[in-house]
């Protein structure tokens, strides 16, 4: 465990060093340190995942914390693996991405590097520490450091406002987590997770309440509906490598929290299973529905994070239903699918954010309506985005398919269910996952087709000269490679999740189920090779048979001077679908009608607002403002008075403690 | 082993004959002599020899799409029970792999349509993408409910167990056939959803996405869509053919069902017009309703008492 702390120290050191070197080598230093620590973390986590035995360090920190347990059990190891590797890849990408920001005074690279390393270190800390107080402190460090990463381009007004929104949501999240831990602390008299476990397994109602509080708190971090609103604002505001790390890695700490609580509870109740499943189903549907309407590529990807977090949740939910109704096959498959999807999502979501970032770097726009035709000048980025799109849509032979197959498998092995409720739930989940899959296809054909294909829709897109530099391509190639490898060798990926899954499901049966699963996946792997072989044979045959070819313009009913504005746009592509589901969206149209005899300018712009934000969050905020504006007077800028308020508060607190404590 | 060869032989020959039979049926209803039923095959060979024209807007996506699509359909056909009710590959969860592999083909068709930068093809892609979001869940509800009855997750075993389920089994089979037939009409873009013989780009769905394909690419695409229709027809016939028949009779029965389905498709195309685009949704929803009926029946059978 010593090496583990040294690696954590290395991360922090890598965060401090950049203050003392010149601008060009700051992020380089970070990547060296992150690389070194990643090696250590990967070794630790592989060791734990293979043996299944936890590594424990018990350290006396101070009288406040008492003895703090740092534990790398299978669950932590799985998350450490994802956090360290994916963050490292993100930092390599940042080497290229940050180049255009270097040398400008308004961007402080050193501070950015510091918080980047701090974020990684705190995430690793969060998933290993088993003491609730230290957990909360690290959790807060994680939220704050990511806040500073989000507001990197702080000269822009919208960046600051999304940053603040993010901060508020994160603190809403931490309130619920504190409540859950406080309850546990009061009844167990301890800060250690171990002691909670005993308490939680005894009292069913108590564990339900704790779970709901923790699920809300961690769910906000993970981006579950209806607390997802920070995601679509924070991701576009952050620089691309940060969006990649946040969406690919950081929101998974929310999932980690939920899983940790479930592990501590050990015997889940029906309430927990249905809560997780229903919220997850809603999140996945909601996320993908709104993703279809977005034109800002990073907002679109952020909504897809909500969808994928939903899919992870569906896996876990079905797994829980399997445990509750004593169906170990469904439980094992559900948990494996959910956990594997955590890994898969971090891979393809980073890949997509990075390739979208490359496009942003070359074109300076995130609006896909202004793009098009850049596949010719940015061949690598577009191929990589295509791979990411196929993977995230859950299509074979990439990794997204494997985890979705496992989740489908869990649902089907849950049939025939013990009663009607479960049966209908499973069938509804089956249909929802299917519809989410097809909507993802709709969304990503739109994103890929409009961004990269066709002819350029604007000057920016037409002026792209070349692809991004190698240092940005390489991390994406690694990610695409991971996506393919997990897709065509699913049996090895599945064995990665064996030990974390066995934490949740008791009994010997898990080994048998896993043996069958691995056998099935090896067979599927073989089938994918057949598939690739078929593609190669057909390609060869086509090459052999095909006659000469020539180039001509696109068919336009005999009109051979098509221009860029005749193409289908992202809005028109999605319009048929969006207009079919009209009640689900709030459309705001900005129209300027053509006037006068010789109209000069006219436009029609449609914006789609999140209904959850428009009808729930905003009215709540308005209500809040109405009440709080009554207290405006006490904010008078007089420091003496503020000190007085502080004193009064302390007095009330002391009196309160005296009488109720 | 023999089964596999028979299956592959049928797979390579019958799909074009299906198209031929449909065209012949349409000719019959409109009082024409019509083409030879082998004509689609000759068309295919003729296209192979033609020059390919690529739009200067297109990229490698456009070039690989026909290959991917054909490989996808060939791969998907391995999971479908054909002659003698046997599929070449029999694994659990085959229907998930089947529909996701087909979705990969659809993904490429859609982006290849957008690759041309044509407004027509974008329109077709938009429609296709939209309709398929409604088809897939219905398919999954239907198949999911049926697997609940059978507890076995391969296509092949469905029939046997449904037969043992008595009257409910037969009702479910009938509804499943209707669901699959509507799915065939939508996925293979036949009337009343789409008219493959139309001459107006604005009303097309699938045809309009392949406007720019020519030569060998077009040949591959035509073959692909013929096989796709054949696969759905085979799924339907797998539900109809009783189990336990001698092999030769079973194969003959299979072929005759395939051709009867083609004749039915031809007759529908001669007797009805394409729906207006807005009404297509209503047609697609019929499929969801039959799927939900299957779900209700299965629920009643499993938990009714």
pLDDT digits (tens, 9 = 90+) for A234-278: 998 899 999 999 999 999 999 999 999 999 988 888 999 999 999
CB contact under 8 A, A547 and B49: yes
Q: Count CB neighbours of B166 within 10 A.
A: 10
- Characterize B96-121 residue by residue with b for buried, 16 or more Cβ atoms within 10 angstroms of its Cβ, and e for exposed: bbbbbbbbbbbbbbbbbbbbbbbbbb
Q: What's the whole-number average pLDDT of chain B?
A: 86
CB contact under 8 A, B216 and A547: yes
CB contact under 8 A, B125 and A573: yes
Q: What's the whole-number average pLDDT of chain A?
A: 89
pLDDT above 70 for B151:
no
Q: Count CB neighbours of A557 within 10 A.
A: 13
CB contact under 8 A, B55 and A554: yes
- Contact present, A330 and A414 (Cβ < 8 Å): yes
For B101-168, the DSSP string reads HHHHHHHHHHHHHHHTT-HHHHHHHHHHHHHHHHHHHHHHHHHHHHHHHH---STTHHHHHHHHTHHH
Q: What is the pLDDT of residues B91-101, one digit of tens each?
A: 888 888 998 99
Measured torsion, CA atoms of residues B17, B23, B29, B33, in degrees rounded to the nearest 10: -90
pLDDT attached to residue B152? 62
Q: Count CB neighbours of A660 within 10 A.
A: 6
CB contact under 8 A, A442 and B139: no
Q: Single out the residue of A19, A28, A173 nearest to residue A110, CA to CA.
A: A19
Please list every residue in chain A whose beta carbon sits closer than 8 Å to the beta carbon of residue B115.
449, 453-454
pLDDT above 80 for A660:
no
Please list every residue in chain B whose beta carbon sits closer than 8 Å to the beta carbon of residue A372.
117
For A373-437, the DSSP string reads -TTTT-HHHHHHHHHHHHHHTT-TTSHHHHHHHHHHHHHHHTPSPSSHHHHHHHHHHHHHHHHHH
Question: pLDDT > 90: what percent of chain A?
Answer: 51
Q: What is the pLDDT of residues A97-149, one digit of tens each?
A: 888 888 776 668 888 899 999 999 999 999 999 888 999 999 999 999 999 99
State the nearest Cα–Cα gap between B176 and chain A, in angstroms: 16
Of the candidates A446, A530, A567, the beta carbon closest to that of B119 is on A567
- Characterize A56-65 residue by residue with b for buried, 16 or more Cβ atoms within 10 angstroms of its Cβ, and e for exposed: eeeeeeeeeb
- Give residue A557's region: left, alpha or beta (phi > 0; psi -120 to 50): left
Mutate which: B53, B66, B133, B297, vs A, most A CBs within 10 A: B133
Residue of chain B whose alpha carbon sits nearest to that of A555: B212
- Which H or E run includes A135? helix A132-150
CB contact under 8 A, B130 and A576: yes
Question: pLDDT > 70: what percent of chain A?
Answer: 99
Least confident window among A567-571, A657-661, B101-105, B134-138: A657-661
pLDDT attached to residue B160? 63
CB contact under 8 A, B104 and A415: no
Domain ranges within chain A, ordered by starting residue? 269-541, 575-660
Q: CA B214, B121, A385 angle in degrees (round to 5)?
A: 95
Beta bridge partners of A456: none
Helix and strand numbers (H, E) in chain B are: 11, 1
Distance in angstroms (rounded) separating the CA atoms of residues B217 and B213: 6
User: Which of A100-114, A344-358, A542-556, B45-59 has the highest mean predicted lDDT (pLDDT)?
Assistant: A344-358
Q: Where does residue A620 rank: exposed (0-12), middle (13-18), buried (19+ CB within 10 A)?
A: exposed
Which is higher by pLDDT, B163 or B301? Answer: B301
- Contact present, A372 and A350 (Cβ < 8 Å): no
Mutate which: B79, B111, B305, vs A, most A CBs within 10 A: B111
* pLDDT, average across residues A387-402: 93
pLDDT attached to residue B91? 82
Q: What is the pTM of this model?
A: 0.94
Which residues are CB-neighbours of A620 under 8 A, at least 6 positions away? none
Of the candidates A405, A423, A442, the beta carbon closest to that of B299 is on A423
Q: Count CB neighbours of A303 within 10 A.
A: 26
Mutate which: B130, B201, B215, B300, vs A, most A CBs within 10 A: B130
* pLDDT, average across residues A488-506: 88
Q: Could you report the predicted ipTM of this complex, rounded to two decimals?
A: 0.94
Distance in angstroms (rounded) separating the CA atoms of residues A539 and A545: 10
Coil, helix or strand for A75? Answer: helix
Distance in angstroms (rounded) separating the CA atoms of residues A213 and A277: 16
Which residues are CB-neighbours of A585 under 8 A, at least 6 positions away? A290, A293, A578, A608, A609, A611
- Contact present, A138 and A70 (Cβ < 8 Å): no
Structure tokens at B204: 């097309």
Distance in angstroms (rounded) separating the CA atoms of residues A466 and A374: 9
State the total domains in chain B.
1
Give, rounded to a whole angstrom, the gap between the first and last alpha carbons of chain B: 45
pLDDT attached to residue A477? 95
pLDDT attached to residue B157? 62
Which domain range does residue B199 map to?
2-303
Q: What is the pLDDT of residues A348-390, one digit of tens each?
A: 999 999 999 999 999 989 999 899 889 999 999 999 999 999 9
Q: Which residue has the tokens 């000048």?
A: A377
CB contact under 8 A, B93 and A386: no
- Contact present, A261 and A210 (Cβ < 8 Å): yes
Give the model's confidence band at B298: pLDDT under 50 very low, under 70 low, under 90 confident, else very high: confident
pLDDT above 90 for B258:
yes
- Characterize A623-652 residue by residue with b for buried, 16 or more Cβ atoms within 10 angstroms of its Cβ, and e for exposed: eeeeeeeeeeeeeeeeeeeeeeeeeeeeee
CB contact under 8 A, B52 and A549: yes
Q: What is the pLDDT of residues B61-96, one digit of tens each?
A: 999 999 999 999 999 998 888 876 677 888 888 888
Structure tokens at A319: 């797994």
pLDDT above 90 for A445:
yes
pLDDT above 90 for A203:
no
Coil, helix or strand for A129? Answer: strand
Backbone torsions φ then ψ of A564, nearest 5 degrees: -60, -30
CB contact under 8 A, A545 and B129: no
Least confident window among A452-466, B145-159, B246-260, B279-293: B145-159
Give the model's confidence band at B158: pLDDT under 50 very low, under 70 low, under 90 confident, else very high: low
* pLDDT, average across residues A218-232: 90
Distance in angstroms (rounded) separating the CA atoms of residues B186 and B227: 15
pLDDT above 70 for B305:
no
């Amino acid at each position: 465990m010593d090496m583990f702390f040294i690696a954590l120290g290395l991360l922090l050191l890598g965060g401090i060093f950049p203050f003392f070197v010149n601008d060009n080598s700051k992020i380089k230093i970070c990547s060296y340190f992150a690389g070194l620590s990643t090696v250590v973390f990967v070794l630790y986590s592989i060791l734990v995942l293979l043996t299944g035995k936890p590594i424990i360090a018990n350290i006396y920190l101070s009288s406040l914390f008492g003895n703090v347990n740092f534990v790398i059990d299978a669950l932590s190891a799985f998350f450490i693996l994802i956090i360290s590797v994916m963050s490292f890849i993100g930092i390599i990408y940042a080497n290229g991405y940050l180049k255009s920001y270097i040398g400008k005074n308004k961007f402080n690279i050193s501070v950015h590097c510091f918080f980047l390393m701090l974020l990684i270190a705190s995430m690793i800390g969060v998933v290993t520490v088993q003491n609730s107080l230290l957990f909360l402190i690290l959790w807060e460090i994680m939220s704050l450091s990511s806040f500073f990463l989000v507001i990197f381009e702080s000269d822009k007004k919208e960046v600051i406002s999304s940053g603040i929104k993010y901060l508020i949501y994160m603190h809403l999240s931490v309130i619920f987590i504190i409540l859950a831990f406080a309850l546990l602390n009061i009844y167990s008299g301890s800060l250690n997770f171990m002691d909670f476990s005993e308490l939680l397994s005894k009292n069913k109602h108590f564990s339900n309440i704790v779970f709901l509080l923790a699920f809300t708190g961690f769910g906000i971090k993970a981006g579950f509906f209806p607390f997802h609103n920070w995601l679509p604002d924070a991701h576009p505001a952050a620089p691309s490598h940060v969006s990649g790390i946040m969406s690919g890695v950081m929101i998974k700490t929310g999932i980690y929290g939920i899983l940790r609580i479930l592990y501590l509870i050990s015997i889940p109740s029906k309430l927990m299973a249905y809560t997780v499943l229903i919220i997850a189903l809603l999140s996945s549907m909601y996320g993908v529905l709104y993703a279809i309407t977005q034109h800002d590529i990073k907002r679109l990807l952020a909504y897809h994070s909500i969808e994928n977090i939903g899919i992870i949740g569906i896996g876990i939910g079905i797994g829980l239903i399997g445990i509750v109704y004593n169906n170990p096959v469904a439980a094992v498959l559900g948990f494996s699918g959910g956990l594997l999807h955590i890994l898969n999502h971090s891979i393809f979501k980073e890949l997509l954010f990075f390739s979208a970032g490359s496009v942003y770097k070359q074109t300076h726009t995130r609006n896909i309506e202004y793009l098009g035709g850049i596949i010719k000048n940015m061949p690598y980025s577009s191929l990589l985005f295509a791979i990411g799109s196929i993977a995230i849509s859950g299509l074979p032979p990439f990794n997204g398919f494997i985890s979705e197959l496992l989740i489908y498998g869990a649902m089907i092995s849950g049939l025939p269910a013990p009663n009607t409720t479960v049966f209908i739930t499973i069938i509804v989940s089956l249909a929802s996952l299917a519809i989410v899959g097809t909507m993802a296809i709709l969304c990503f054909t739109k994103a890929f087709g409009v961004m990269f294909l066709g002819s350029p829709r604007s000057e920016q897109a037409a002026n792209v000269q070349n692809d991004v530099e190698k240092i940005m391509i390489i991390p994406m190639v690694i990610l695409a490679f991971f996506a393919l490898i997990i897709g065509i060798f699913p049996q090895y990926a599945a064995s990665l999740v064996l030990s974390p899954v066995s934490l949740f499901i008791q009994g010997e049966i898990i080994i048998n189920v896993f043996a069958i699963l691995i056998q099935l996946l090896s067979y599927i792997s073989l089938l994918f090779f057949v598939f690739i072989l078929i593609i190669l044979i057909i390609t060869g045959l086509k090459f052999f048979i095909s006659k000469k070819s020539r180039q001509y313009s696109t068919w336009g009913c005999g009109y051979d001077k098509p221009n860029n504005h005749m193409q289908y746009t992202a809005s028109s592509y999605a319009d048929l679908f969006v207009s079919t589901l009209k009640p689900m969206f709030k459309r705001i149209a900005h129209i300027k009608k053509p006037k006068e005899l010789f109209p000069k300018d006219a436009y029609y712009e449609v914006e789609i607002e999140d209904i959850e934000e428009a009808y729930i969050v905003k009215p709540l905020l308005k209500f809040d403002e109405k009440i709080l504006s009554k207290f405006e007077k006490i904010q008078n800028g007089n420091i003496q008075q503020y000190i007085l308020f502080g004193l009064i508060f302390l007095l009330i607190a002391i009196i309160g403690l005296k009488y109720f404590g | 082993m023999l089964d596999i060869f028979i299956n592959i032989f049928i797979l390579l020959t019958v799909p074009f004959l299906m198209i031929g039979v449909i065209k012949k049926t349409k000719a019959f209803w409109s009082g024409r002599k019509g083409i030879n039923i082998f004509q689609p095959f000759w068309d295919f060979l003729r296209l192979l020899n033609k020059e390919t024209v690529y739009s200067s807007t297109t990229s490698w996506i456009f070039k690989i799409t026909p290959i991917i699509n054909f490989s996808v359909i060939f791969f998907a056909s391995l999971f479908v029970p054909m002659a003698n009710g046997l599929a070449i590959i029999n694994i659990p969860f085959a229907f998930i792999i089947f529909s996701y592999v087909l979705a990969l083909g659809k993904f490429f068709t859609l982006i290849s349509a957008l690759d041309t930068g044509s407004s027509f093809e974008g329109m077709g892609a938009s429609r296709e993408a939209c309709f398929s979001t409604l088809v897939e869940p219905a398919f999954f509800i239907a198949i999911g409910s049926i697997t609940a009855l059978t507890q076995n997750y391969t296509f092949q075993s469905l029939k046997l167990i449904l037969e043992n389920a008595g009257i409910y089994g037969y009702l479910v089979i009938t509804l499943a056939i209707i669901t699959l037939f509507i799915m065939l009409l939508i996925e293979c873009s036949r009337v009343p959803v789409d008219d493959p013989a139309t001459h107006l780009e604005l009303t097309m769905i699938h045809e309009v996405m392949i406007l720019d394909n020519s030569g060998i690419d077009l040949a591959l695409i035509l073959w692909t869509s013929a096989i796709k229709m054949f696969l759905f027809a085979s799924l339907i016939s797998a539900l109809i053919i009783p189990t336990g028949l001698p092999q030769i009779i079973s194969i003959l029965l299979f072929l005759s069902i395939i051709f009867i389905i083609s004749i039915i498709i031809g007759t529908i195309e001669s007797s009805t017009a394409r729906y207006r685009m807005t009404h297509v949704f209503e047609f697609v929803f019929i499929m969801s309703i039959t799927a939900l009926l299957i779900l209700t029946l299965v629920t009643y059978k499993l938990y009714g008492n």
